[in-house]
Amino acid sequence: MLTILFQDADLVVVHKPANMLVHKSMIDRHETVFLMKILRDQIGQYVYPVHRLDKPTSGVILFALSSDIARALAQQFEAHTISKEYHAVVRGFAPEHATIDYALKEKLDPIADKKAKKDKEAQEALTEMKKLGELSLPIPVGIYPGARFSLVKLMPKTGRKHQLRRHMAHIRHPIIGDTTHGDGKQNRFARDHLAFSKLALCATKLHFLHPVTQKPITCETSFEDDFQALIKRFDVS
């Protein structure tokens, strides 16, 4: 059973578990468990996706219950009037605050994006970051005599593919557990010494205007148990 954070006649907001696909994809053609199917069966009606979360990312995700509502919500996302917050654990001691303004060229999958335009220009991408806490352990990792990590809050102002993972890698503070843009040594360290083997990224809050009532809606979720145990290790200010 999925955790439903908000539901009415027009939309539903749920917590997506880590390592679950939102919908069927050519990239994971052998996967048989999909969030949309589970949710459809749980509430007894079809749901329309209006934004995405990567398979390894957990947290808040919004679905419309009709095509008209889906279009209205998609317009809010396109206008950047929907705000999102994420929490992540990253390598090293990150700055207290940072604005990451770094355009991203879309990375195409050779299977799923065969028909996509190959020569797109890099698109504007903007992320605000705030450090919430630090963790250091006197255990060597790679060339370093000790391990350092930061707990950060990330607020994307645009919605590019893998934006947060690529932006944090760009400033040399990759997200722990990121096998594409991250640090393999740090990921192994997290598995061996922190008992954490997933992507340390959770979509924790979503704020938007209800497309029918025009009332502001804020949905927040809790961390999954292993992520919560990891966060408890940090000296959070």
Owner of token pair 């940090």: 234
DSSP secondary-structure letter at 22? S
Burial of 187 (0-12, 13-18, 19+ CB in 10 A): buried
Q: Active site residue: 10, 28, 54, 101, which one?
A: 54
Q: Quick check: is 119 catalytic? A: no
3-state secondary structure of 42: helix
Q: How far apart are CA 150 and CA 173, in angstroms?
A: 9
164 close to 137: Cβ distance less than 8 angstroms: no
The Cα 86–Cα 173 span in angstroms is 15
Pull the structure tokens for residue 106. 């879309």
Range 214-222, long-range pairs (CB < 8 A, 24+ positions): 217/6, 217/13, 219/5, 219/6, 219/13, 219/60, 219/62, 220/5, 220/60, 221/3, 221/5, 221/15, 221/59, 221/60, 222/15
Tell me which residues are annotated as active site. 54
